[in-house]
Amino acid sequence: MPPADAIAAIATAPGRGGVGIVRVSGPALAAMAERLLGQRPVPRVAHFVRFRDAGGALIDEGLALYFAAPASFTGEDVLELHGHGSPMALRLLLRRVLELGARHAEPGEFTRRAYLNGKLDLAQAEAVADVIDAATESAARAAARSLSGEFSKLVQALRERLIHLRMFVEATLDFPEEDVEFLESERAAEKLAATRAALDDVLAAATRGQLLHDGIRIVLAGAPNVGKSSLLNALAGDDIAIVTPIAGTTRDAIRSRIDIHGLAAEVVDTAGLRETEDPVEAMGIARTRAAIAEADLALVLVEAGSPVPPTLLDELPAALPRLIVHNKIDLQRGATPRADDDGIWLSARTGAGLELLATAITDSVGFHYREEGSFIARERHVDALRRALAHVDAAGEELAHGALELFAEELRRAHEALGTIVGEFTADDLLGEIFSRFCIGK
Ligand SMILES: Nc1nc2c(ncn2[C@@H]2O[C@H](COP(=O)(O)OP(=O)(O)OP(=O)(O)O)[C@@H](O)[C@H]2O)c(=O)[nH]1
Ligand SMILES: [Mg+2]
């Protein structure tokens, strides 16, 4: 009988390529592997084999790799079939595996099993998706570090500090007659302060990690003809948007992913904002407003030497961070690029001042990539760290009042909040949501 719960998927990207891989994972795959390959595979040995369909006709030839549980990615038996990267041949190979009893894997199901079998904690499992989705080199490196467990280790160290404190206070609670209370709470306050400082450091690093993960959305806003499309092209180093001396050239919002000093930015070029009778331009301007509404940062463009029109600033939500960009300095005699409190002076045409703009952008969101110690993180990790910090602060207050029971309770809750990062105390629906965003075959 084929194993009841084997899952299978094409693990390589769709399309043609040199090599394509079908991956199977299940509690007992040896029999299936033997039927498929015509031999019992030796674990961790590459077997050169011919893959055949149910009727014995040749599908492809390639390598079979077998990993016996628990020494595999998922912790179950895993069979990898490396054929040619032909969408058709891979589909036939997958069909054969399904005939032998496997079912189609759901998105992220391999990684989910790895997590459930204790091969990875939840933060590491998420990092698997982040390695795959990384949009910049720095994001890829940071995701690799999270996958290797660097972030989890920091969280674990924080949890150990909390456990230590909890043991400490609970011992005091258990033996009040020893009357060590006062003395102990002195030391407890010290330990709590040290824990808080460590938590704060991890929170700062995770906040940077979240920026690496999420990137930012930047909208280019300004009157027609100030050079928004030219600036997009200059930032992207590519001819993406049409540039003409005609005011009202850009109609649709044009989006481009740009790596700004390691920060993944989605830059949106928009129709210039002005009163217009032209219905098409008016629709474009409506899109500009929509892009402004969802942006994290606005680059407000004006021609150098001209003031920023107050009506333009009125278009921006009060809370939207903005940088004023004074473009076309090449038209001003003797003007050089600069950045100060009034904005950045540059030329989209010559490229002068673009570096200053890139720095101003990363400064404005507090993004300073450093290779050392950076890891990727998500909003839910940062939220959990913030919750933990709030409980540690509350614990401090209880301690100051001598309410040791409540102090212990706040510590327990801080500990629990940290647990959600690595996947302890994590609800099933959250797991479902996390893994459903993975690609199939991972
Ligand atoms: N000299 C000079 N000309 C520029 C510069 N940037 C843009 N231009 C010119 O200004 C004109 C308008 O540029 P665009 O980039 O199309 O301006 P835009 O803001 O996208 O305009 P709309 O799409 O109409 O809103 C074009 O002729 C550009 O070549 C610059 O830095 N220096
Ligand atoms: Mg334009």
Q: What count of other Cβ atoms lies within 10 Å of the Cβ of residue 70?
A: 12
> Which of 364, 397, 427 is a domain's end point?
364
**One-letter identity of residue 204:** A
- Residue 351 Cα to ligand 1 midpoint, Å, equals 13
Decide: 249 in ligand 1 pocket, CB within 6 A. yes
Helix axes 87-99, 30-37, angle to 10 degrees: 130
**pLDDT over 70 (residue 177):** no
What's the pTM? 0.84
pLDDT at 19 over 80: yes
For the segment 216-224, the average pLDDT, to the nearest whole number, is: 96
Question: Do 345 and 218 sit in the same domain of this protein?
Answer: yes
- Give residue 181's pLDDT band: very low, low, confident or very high (50, 70, 90): low
The pair phi, psi for residue 232, each rounded to 5°, is: -60, -50
What residues form DSSP beta bridges with 216? 265
Q: Give backbone dihedrals phi and psi of 305, rounded to 5 degrees, phi first.
A: 100, -20
Q: Do 135 and 171 sit in the same domain of this protein?
A: yes
Is the distance from the beta carbon of residue 362 to the nearest atom of ligand 1 less than 6 Å? no
Q: Which whole number is the average pLDDT over 154-158?
A: 97
| Residue finishing a domain among 72, 101, 120 | 120
Distance of alpha carbon 109 from alpha carbon 103, whole angstroms: 11
370 located within any domain: no
> Could you tell me if residue 180 is inside a domain?
yes
Q: At what angle do helices 109-116 and 428-436 cross, to 10 degrees?
A: 140
For residues 399 and 284, membership in a common domain is answered with no
Q: Which domain holds residue 98?
A: 7-120
148 and 115 in one domain?
no
Residue 369 lies in a domain: no
pLDDT at 1 over 50: no
Mean pLDDT of the chain: 92
pLDDT tens digits, 307-352: 999 999 999 999 999 999 999 999 999 899 999 999 999 999 999 9
Residues 47 and 100: their CA atoms lie apart, in Å, by 20
How confident is the model over 165-193, as a mean pLDDT?
74
Q: How far is CA 326 from CA 269, 285, 307, 329, 332, in A?
A: 16, 21, 9, 7, 11
For range 392-415, the mean pLDDT? 93
Q: Which atom of ligand 1 is nearest to the CA of 272?
A: 25
User: For residue 116, is it within any domain?
Assistant: yes
Kindly report which listed range (87-96, 138-147, 181-190, 214-223) carries the lowest average pLDDT score.
181-190
- 375-388 pLDDT, tens per residue? 999 999 999 999 99
What CATH number corresponds to the domain at position 146? 1.20.120.430
pLDDT at 2: 37
Any idea what the Cα angle at residue 117 is, between residues 116 and 122, rounded to 5°? Answer: 45
CB 272 within 8 A of CB 292: no
So what's the pLDDT on residue 184?
61
pLDDT per position as a tens digit, 276-312: 999 999 999 999 999 999 999 999 999 999 999 999 9
Cβ–ligand 1 distance for 349 under 6 Å, the answer yes
CATH number, domain containing residue 80: 3.30.1360.120
pLDDT band (50, 70, 90) for residue 56? very high
- The number of the ligand nearest the C-alpha atom of 300 reads 1
Residue 442 covered by a domain: no
Query: In terms of domains, do 246 and 309 share one?
Result: yes
Do 130 and 231 share a domain, yes or no?
no
User: What's the mean pLDDT in 145-173?
Assistant: 91
Percent of the chain clearing pLDDT 70 (strictly above): 97
- Domain contains 272: yes
Tell which of 88, 120, 152 closes a domain: 120
Structural domain count of the chain: 3
How would you list the strands of the sheet with 17-26, edge to edge?
Answer: 47-52, 58-67, 77-85, 17-26, 7-10, 103-104
Q: Which of 63-67, 359-363, 364-368 has the lowest mean pLDDT?
A: 364-368
| Residues 204 and 316 grouped into a single domain | no
- pLDDT bin (cut points 50, 70, 90) of residue 156 is very high
Q: Which of 244, 213, 212 is nearest to 228 (CA)?
A: 244
Residue 92 sits in the same domain as residue 135: no
Q: Are residues 409 and 299 in the same domain?
A: no
Residue 269 Cα: closest atom of ligand 1:
20
Cβ 227 under 6 angstroms from ligand 1: yes
Do 243 and 288 lie in a common domain? yes
Distance (Å, whole) CA 104 – CA 286: 43
Q: Is residue 441 part of a domain?
A: no
Q: Which of 219, 220, 225, 330 to mutate to test the pocket of ligand 1 (most atoms within 8 A of CB)?
A: 225
Does 336 contact ligand 1 (Cβ within 6 A)?
Answer: no
Residue 334 shares a structural domain with residue 206: no
DSSP-derived 3-state class of residue 257? strand
Give me ligand 1 centre to Cα 298, in Å: 18
Give the model's confidence band at 172: pLDDT under 50 very low, under 70 low, under 90 confident, else very high.
Answer: confident
**Judgement on whether residues 351 and 314 belong to the same structural domain of the protein:** yes
* Strands (DSSP E) found in 333-405: 338-340, 343-345
23 occurs within a structural domain? yes
Domain containing residue 294: CATH number: 3.40.50.300
